[in-house]
Amino acid sequence: MTHYLKRLAVAAAALLLAVSSIAPAQAEKDTRHRPFVHAYNTTDDMETAAAAVGSRLASAGLTIAGEYSPYEGVMVIAVTSKALQEAASATDYGAYGAVQRVSLTAMGEGESAHIQVAYTNPVYMAHAYRMVSGLAEVRAVLEEALGAEADYGSEDGLTEKKLAKYRYMGVPMFTERFDAHEELASYDSYEEAVRKVEEGLAAGNAGTSKVYRIDIPGKEQTLFGVGLTRECSGDKYIMEKIDFKDMRQTGHLPYELLVTGGDITALAGRFRIAINFPDLGMVGSHGFTSIMCAPKSIRGALAEAAGVAPE
C-alpha cells in the first residue's frame, strides 16, 4: 500500500506540474485585448503637446514615419521601429503592423480643456493582423515612453483567437475578415507600382495625401499611410459619426495602402473600420449604417491613389 501511495503521489505531482505549465499559456490566449491605450492627459496646447510626445518617442528609440492633422483639434503621429519592421516582414501581410499610431485629441472647453494622448495597442493589432510576433516588447517601449493609464475601445475586449478570425458582428454575408484584401491595381513590377502610388498621392487623387511610407525590409513590399478628405471616404466625415465616446479613437487613422510586388491592395473597409471600433452598433446616428457609403468610397479613393481611373 505504501508503494502504491508513493506512485500515486508522484503521478499527482507530475500532473500538477503539467497543468501549471499549460495554465499560463492558456491564460495568455484567454486574455482580452482592446485596440487603444490611453497614455495621459495634458493641458498643454496642441503644438507643445505634440512636441513633447515626439521627444518622448525619439528618446525611446522609435522613428516618426509621418504625422498629420486630419481635422481640427487632432493630430496623429505614425511611429515605427526596427522591431516593428522585422516583425512585419515575417508574414505575408504583417506589413499592416509595421506602424503604430499615436494620437492627440483636444477635448473640453475653458478650464476643462485638455488633450488626450493615446496610441494603438500593438498586441491587439498583432493578433488582428495575424503576425508571428505578439509585439509585447513594442507595447512595453510605448508604455515606457508615454505611459499607460488604461486600455480602451472595446468594453469586453477580444481574445487572441477572436481577433485572428475577427469580422464585424460575425456576419459572413456582409462583412470581411483580415484576409479579404481589396485588390486595387496591378502593375508589371514593384517599382512601377510604388511609383504609381507616389504619383497618385502627390497629385491628391480623390482627395488623398501621403502620411507616411514604410519599405518592409527584405521584401518587395511598401506600406503607405493615406489621409482621406472626400465625402463618404473622408477622415473627418467618418470620425464625426462614429468617434463619439468620451475616450476618442483618433488612432484609427490613417488608412493604409499596401504594395506587394506589382500588386496594390488594402484592407476591406468594413474590417478596417470594425477592428478599431469593435463595439460600434449597427444602426442609429452613430452606427455603422450612418457610414454605409464609407467602405466603397474608401476603396474607390485608394484605387485612384493607386493610379486607377475614377469610376
Contacts of 23 (CB under 8 A, 6+ apart): none
Q: Please calculate the CA angle 65-74-156 and round it to the nearest 5 degrees.
A: 90
The predicted pLDDT at position 22 comes to 47
168 with 274: CB under 8 angstroms? yes
Residue 309 has a CB neighbour count (10 Å cut-off) of 7
The predicted pLDDT at position 28 comes to 60
Contacts of 306 (CB under 8 A, 6+ apart): 184, 185, 193, 196, 197, 200, 257, 264
Q: What string of pLDDT tens digits covers the 311 residues of the chain?
A: 455 545 545 554 544 444 454 445 455 668 999 999 999 999 999 999 999 999 999 999 999 999 999 999 999 999 999 999 999 999 999 999 999 999 999 999 999 999 999 999 999 999 999 999 999 999 999 999 999 999 999 999 999 999 999 999 776 666 899 999 999 999 999 999 999 999 999 999 999 999 999 999 999 999 999 999 999 999 999 999 999 999 999 999 999 999 999 999 999 999 999 999 999 999 888 999 999 999 999 999 999 999 999 87
Nearest in space to 117 (alpha carbons), one of 52, 43, 41 = 41
d(CA 184, CA 296): 12
Q: Give pTM, 2 decimals.
A: 0.90
Nearest in space to 100 (alpha carbons), one of 166, 40, 145, 163 = 145
Q: Please calculate the CA angle 278-46-249 and round it to the nearest 5 degrees.
A: 0
The predicted pLDDT at position 258 comes to 98
The predicted pLDDT at position 174 comes to 67
206 with 235: CB under 8 angstroms? no
User: Cα 298 to chain center, whole Å?
Assistant: 16
Q: Which amino acid is at 63?
A: T
Helix (H) or strand (E) run with residue 42 in it: strand 36-42
